[in-house]
Amino acid sequence: MEQFSNFTYIKQIPIELMQDKFNMSYRIKCLLEEHINLSNYGVAVRHIFISPLIGEVFIPESIYSASEKKLEVQFLINPDQAVAVSEAQFFRIMLEGFLQAMEEMELPYGFNFKVFRKDVEALQFAQLKQAA
């Protein structure tokens, strides 16, 4: 069973300006699948859908579906910042945005976010190169 999925929304940024950062959410998804097993954090979450919104797309909404044991985590990224930073900095911005959005939403009882956050924060950009 796939534990993570992703979809990035980008508005009003030419793809060529994003260069290697364009598929960052997919690469992070691969890294999470390689290093994070959701069953280690309880039984309440079996799937996380990561959805960064780059630019004024729509208001992010992160939700939990108890019947599917699925989190959909949407978060905003400033488009100017997305273009200006290095690939390694963008990796960190993506992870921080993802974790911040999770922290702000109502997470289900039985999901150990504290340990999940620690494990995700320990991921390194160098590992991302291996996962992609």
Identify whether the C-beta of residue 47 lies closer than 8 Å to the C-beta of residue 67.
Answer: no
pLDDT of residue 2: 65
Q: Could you report the per-residue pLDDT of 117-128, keeping only the tens digit for each?
A: 999 999 999 887
Residue 130 has pLDDT above 80, yes or no: no
> What would the DSSP string read from start to end of 67-120?
TTTEEEEEEEE-HHHHHHS-HHHHHHHHHHHHHHHHHHS-PPTT--HHHHHHHH
pLDDT of residue 129: 67
Q: Region 6-19: what's the mean pLDDT?
A: 81
Percent of the chain with pLDDT over 70: 95
Q: Are strands 70-77 and 63-65 parallel, antiparallel or unpaired?
A: antiparallel
Q: Could you report the per-residue pLDDT of 60-86, keeping only the tens digit for each?
A: 999 999 999 999 999 999 989 999 999
Q: What is the pTM assigned to this prediction?
A: 0.91
Token digits of residue 27: 């690469």
